[in-house]
Amino acid sequence: MEESLSHLFWNCTLANWTWNYISSWWSINSLSFKSRPFSIPYLLSLKPQRHVSKIWRMVVSASLWSIWLARNDFVFNKSKINEKELTRLIFIRISKWGSASKIMPFGSDPLWNINPVGAINVHHFRDMTNFWKFKQEVYSTVCMVDAAWLATSDGSIKGGIGGIIKNKCGQILYCFSAPSYGYTIHEAEIEAILHVLSVFRSNPCLMHNSVICSDSVVAINAISAGLEYSFPLLVPDFSINEIFQNSVCLNFVPSDLNDEADQLAKDGLNRDQFSAFWSAQVF
């Protein structure tokens, strides 16, 4: 049979060993999994959760690389690998890549061997809890914001924004979710930050020792440098610097630790109008 990408990475013996092992390890329905033609975008889309996706992408990459190396070893060295050895090498390669990239300590977690998604969720919850706990210890008011961006089936683009303001105890004081009127994901992120700044401006009691956390370096830098230089059409009708002088600051948060704001922003994609909630604790 003439070699093709589809045959090599999806249908040959090496590929069947690999994907049978991966689908069993990651609890993926093997019948529906293998019923599709070979497609890297399809493979990468199987685990869409943001904190799982970056590790799943590494799993897919290591699996494809292992198939390729095993194929080359057979073609050039006439050395045949067996199924057990191939899957062992895949597991080792994934674990070493994960440890080297410091994504998570795969080798020291026995749960990783039998329930990788469960292990990832445990580590993600721990990292997220520690990150926001530190923010709450340092600041009196902690706000997280995010923006979402989606290409629709008709070719149009729509955005959403969302955010939460919490006190030191982690109690929600205010949250919002809304469609975005920005033309880019960066404009949407700035829109979310500006909304929170307007909330602080209207509620001075929230401004003392407060932080706004965004996962957009572009938005943070643009607001810090002055919107008039890079996003002049987004300059608000109030002084941003005046609010920052009242103990409000902007911080970066890794996107995979910004789950709550991310979900509110995604909800905003499907909203027709602005939606917000105030807690009675504020008043």
Amino acid at position 243, single letter: I
pLDDT at 282: 54
Integer Cα distance of 94 and 162 in angstroms: 35
Mean pLDDT over each residue of the chain, to the nearest integer: 92
For residues 111-127, one letter each, b for 16 or more C-beta atoms within 10 angstroms of the residue's C-beta and e for the rest, the string is ebeeebbebbeebbeee
The yes-or-no verdict on residue 283 having pLDDT over 60 is: no
Ordered DSSP codes for 33-69: HHTSPP-HHHHHTTS-SHHHHHHHHHHHHHHHHHHHH
**pTM, full prediction:** 0.85
The 3-state DSSP class for residue 267 equals helix
Mean pLDDT of 85-89: 97
Lowest average pLDDT, out of 3-7, 65-69, 139-143, 145-149, goes to: 3-7
pLDDT at 1 over 60: no
Q: Which has more pLDDT, 138 or 34?
A: 138
User: Which residue is listed with tokens 């062992």?
Assistant: 88
Once rounded to an integer, what is the mean pLDDT over residues 56-73? Answer: 96
Return residue ranges of the chain for CATH 3.30.420.10. Answer: 139-282
Dump pLDDT digits (tens) for 192-247: 999 999 999 999 888 889 999 999 999 999 999 999 999 999 999 999 998 998 78
Q: How far apart are CA 263 and CA 14, in angstroms?
A: 39
Q: Average pLDDT in the 101-124 region?
A: 86
Q: What are phi and psi of 236, to 5 degrees?
A: -80, 175
Least confident of 87-91, 152-156, 198-202: 152-156
Scored b (16 or more CB within 10 A) or e, 263-275 reads ebbbbbbeeeeee
How many CA atoms, within 13 angstroms, populate the side-chain half-sphere of residue 36?
A: 13
* Cα 200 to Cα 208, 234, 253, 279, distances in angstroms: 10, 18, 20, 15
Handedness of CA 248, 254, 255, 258 (dihedral sign): negative
pLDDT at 205: 87
Contacts with 244 (C-beta within 8 Å, 6 or more apart), sequence order = 250
Edge-first strand order for the sheet with 172-180 is: 248-252, 210-214, 141-151, 157-167, 172-180, 275-278
Homologous superfamily in CATH for domain 139-282: Ribonuclease H-like superfamily/Ribonuclease H (3.30.420.10)
Rounded percentage of the chain residues whose pLDDT exceeds 90: 79
Weakest mean pLDDT among 72-76, 104-108, 162-166, 242-246: 104-108
Residue 281 has pLDDT above 70, yes or no: no
Residue 272 has pLDDT above 70, yes or no: yes
